Amino acid sequence: MKNQSFSAFKITIFIVFVLIMSCNKSPKEETHTQMELLKKYMPAQMADDVVKVAVVSNIGDNADERSFINGCVLEGESLGFIVDVFPTNADPLKCQEVVDRIVKSGYDGLILSHGGPGYTYNFLKKVTDNGIKVVTFNSYPYFVSLGVKRGDILWGVTSTLQQDEELAFLSLQSLIDSFPKEKRPIKVIRAWIGPGILSFEKYQKIYNQFVKEGKIEEVGSISQVAGSNTMFDDAKNALNELLKTLPENSIDAIWASYNELAKGCLKTLDLTRQANIKMSSIGGISDDDIELMRSHPNSWLSTASTNLSLIGAVNMRLLAAKFVGEETPKEFYFRCFLIETFRLNESNMDMSNISLIYPEWTQIKGMYNHYPWMDDIKSTKSQ
């Protein structure tokens, strides 16, 4: 009898233990596929079971734009989007034709790179009127009327921008600082792109200030048409022809408003053995650029740059935030950096470790990646 009571007591204790453990056990977390999460957070865009984004690149094929596009595509794919890229080579008519097709093709979002003034506002209005979300980079989604250079931004659009004036100032001041003050004005060849590209017009404005202030004397210029896919060869050949017309030792420096132009100019300096001519530039930077800068430390002194891959990613994040209904800014400016060749050589740098000397190059804070829903979507695999 005593043994039976003891056995019953043990069974009772066991049942109580099991109940306690079951109460303390965390409920099984509900799991979702990426498609299910997209339907949860972006129901309007997922009405046809897919989120489609068009990236319109309205500038020529070059390393800078490829970095931007790559940032867009990788970020979009990490969110489960279908991302299609449409190059339009700075041709307003082609750009408008592509945008018209996008409106008719069921896209949910549009990212436009380098849409110029005079036409961007009007054809983007067709896009937003059809319920398509829009983010632009270095574009002009602003109302323009007679006598008004720039009005309000198109409603619902976020315009992301480089600090173009700062890029030009950093690049030009770096060139000026490489010469003693008594050398001013330094004699410069200007290599630029235009007309019709907003960023380059802003660069030109700062350049003109340097000329006006007596820091620079322009002895010649080479110009490339916006959207050209042969900038390297064109710049190389144009500079070679220009040098033939100028007296020996009449040039101190070259200011290149685009790294693709800088690389073409550098090739000509190599071929003509004029390593004494210094150069500074503007543009996104790549491993190829860094290799050339490091191998020509006395010629290519610096480039003023932004992280174009990050810019592409942020453009896609802003678009995703619009899909979800988050509040997004009308404008967002990206920080620029002066990448100096001597620092690259001192630290044996390439793109994989450039953030060691420029810590904010790959900055995360404030880059629109802090949303819980974004973490949820990225943490799942598309099925």
Task: Judge whether residue 1 has pLDDT over 90.
Answer: no
Task: Judge whether residue 8 has pLDDT over 90.
Answer: no
Task: Judge whether residue 382 has pLDDT over 90.
Answer: no
What pLDDT band is residue 145 in, cutting at 50, 70 and 90?
low
What pLDDT band is residue 61 in, cutting at 50, 70 and 90?
confident
User: What's the rounded mean pLDDT across residues 59-73?
Assistant: 88
**Which span out of 53-62, 163-172, 193-202 was modeled with the highest average pLDDT?**
163-172
Percent of the chain exceeding pLDDT 70 equals: 88
What CATH superfamily is the domain 34-162+309-336+361-378?
Answer: Response regulator (3.40.50.2300)
Residues in Cβ contact with 172 at an 8 Å cutoff, skipping those fewer than 6 apart: 206, 207, 210, 215, 216, 255, 280
pLDDT of residue 143: 85
pLDDT for 235-276, tens place per residue?
Answer: 999 999 999 999 988 999 999 999 999 999 999 999 999 989
For residues 24 and 57, the model is more confident at 57
**Which span out of 55-69, 229-243, 300-314 was modeled with the highest average pLDDT?**
300-314
For residues 146 and 197, the model is more confident at 197
pTM of the model: 0.86
Task: Judge whether residue 202 has pLDDT over 70.
Answer: yes
Residue 8 burial (CB count, 10 A): 10
pLDDT of residue 225: 65
Residues in Cβ contact with 33 at an 8 Å cutoff, skipping those fewer than 6 apart: 380, 381, 382, 383
Return the ∠ at Cα 361 (arms to 163 and 83), rounded to 5°.
80
Pick the closest to residue 113 from 83, 137, 78 (CA basis).
Answer: 137
CA dihedral 177, 180, 181, 184 (to 10 degrees): -90
pLDDT of residue 272: 92
The arrangement of secondary structure in 165-305, i.e. its CATH architecture, is: 3-Layer(aba) Sandwich (3.40)
For residues 274 and 32, the model is more confident at 274
pLDDT of residue 197: 76
User: What's the rounded mean pLDDT across residues 300-315?
Assistant: 96
CB 202 within 8 A of CB 168: yes
Return the ∠ at Cα 259 (arms to 99 and 349), rounded to 5°.
120
pLDDT of residue 251: 96
What pLDDT band is residue 341 in, cutting at 50, 70 and 90?
very high
User: What's the rounded mean pLDDT across residues 367-373?
Assistant: 93
Start-end of CATH 3.40.50.2300 domains in the chain: 34-162+309-336+361-378, 165-305
How far apart are alpha carbons 382 and 293 in whole angstroms? 41
Task: Judge whether residue 18 has pLDDT over 50.
Answer: no
Task: Judge whether residue 372 has pLDDT over 60.
Answer: yes
Task: Judge whether residue 277 has pLDDT over 90.
Answer: yes
pLDDT of residue 346: 78
User: What's the rounded mean pLDDT across residues 209-237?
Assistant: 88
Task: Judge whether residue 17 has pLDDT over 60.
Answer: no
For residues 206 and 150, the model is more confident at 206
pLDDT of residue 227: 58
What pLDDT band is residue 149 in, cutting at 50, 70 and 90?
low
Pick the closest to residue 340 from 277, 292, 283, 297 (CA basis).
Answer: 297
Q: Which two tokens stand for residue 331?
A: 């404008």
Mean of pLDDT over the chain = 88
What pLDDT band is residue 30 in, cutting at 50, 70 and 90?
low
How far apart are alpha carbons 69 and 309 in whole angstroms? 7
Task: Judge whether residue 20 has pLDDT over 50.
Answer: no
pLDDT of residue 195: 72
For residues 198 and 25, the model is more confident at 198
